[in-house]
Amino acid sequence: MRAGDITRILTITNGVPWQTEEWNRLCSLLPDAVRNSSRSYVNWQDRQATVLGRLLLRHGLLSWGLGLQSICLDANGRPFLSDAMDIDFNISHTEGIVVCALREGGRVGIDVEGLRPLESFDYRLVFTETECCLMEDSVDAANLFFNFWTRKEALIKADGRGFFLNPLTFEVFEDTILIGEKTWYLEKISLGDGYLCHLALDSPGHYCVEKLAIEKFLNQ
């Protein structure tokens, strides 16, 4: 099996606020633009998640001998590597965890959500009539909601058009999804109790999950 057939999923916890010394040390590993953008968030978890996402990406890119300097945005605002067009990546975070997926030779999208009680939300903005009916009839509507949500979000992120791809134009009951003329493949990723995570790929493939600790970066 070629290395490019395996999608690497890197994960790290984001459970406690860093001390100033830790913040400065971790940010020193990243380009100025990342450090500056992270400071725009009011919530400490969002600030740290921005930094952690890029640290995970940095760690993954090292296996190809690449760094963060070549990250650009395409016309839809999706990040890509200008000097390694065959390597795709995607980052997601929710309360307590950050994930980064990297893949060579194909598109990738990932989304993670923490299970929690549902807030007031108009499901019909995102889910089809059939999907809404299933949630309304479910004994565990929150679990089904986040299952559908992470599947749709992973697909939308992999596709790259963002919400220019109308989520009402496709349903996510199966693990193989046809959107337009393109077939996508979904994988459920186990990250422990309390989280739902899905991976979207544009061709069948394998994946591995690597759990990292903050000390990995503090000791660099």
Euclidean distance between CA atoms 165 and 155, whole angstroms: 10
pTM recorded for the entire structure: 0.94
Q: Confirm if 67 and 61 have CB atoms less than 8 A apart.
A: yes
Mean pLDDT of 100-128: 90
Domain 3-218 has CATH 3.90.470.20: yes
Q: What is the mean pLDDT of the chain?
A: 92
Does residue 171 sit in helix, strand or coil? coil
- The answer to whether residue 61 scores a pLDDT higher than 80 is yes
Domain boundaries, the chain: 3-218
Distance, CA of 98 to CA of 82 (rounded, Å): 24
Contact residues for 123 (Cβ-Cβ < 8 A; gap 6+): 131, 132, 135, 145
Secondary structure in 3-state letters for 70-95: CEEECCCCCEEECCCCCEEEEEEEEC
Question: How far, in Å, are 13, 23, 171, 177 from residue 89 at the CA level?
Answer: 19, 24, 24, 20
Tell me which H or E stretch contains 153.
Answer: helix 141-159
Per-residue confidence (pLDDT) for residue 56, from 0 to 100: 98
Cα–Cα–Cα angle for 35, 38, 42, rounded to 5 degrees: 145
What tens digit of pLDDT does each residue of 151-207 get? 999 999 999 997 789 999 999 999 999 999 999 999 999 999 999 999 999 999 999
Instruction: Tell whether the model's pLDDT for residue 215 goes beyond 80.
Output: yes
Confidence of residue 2 (pLDDT cuts 50, 70, 90): very low
DSSP 8-state code for residue 40: T
Residue 88 structure tokens: 């795709």
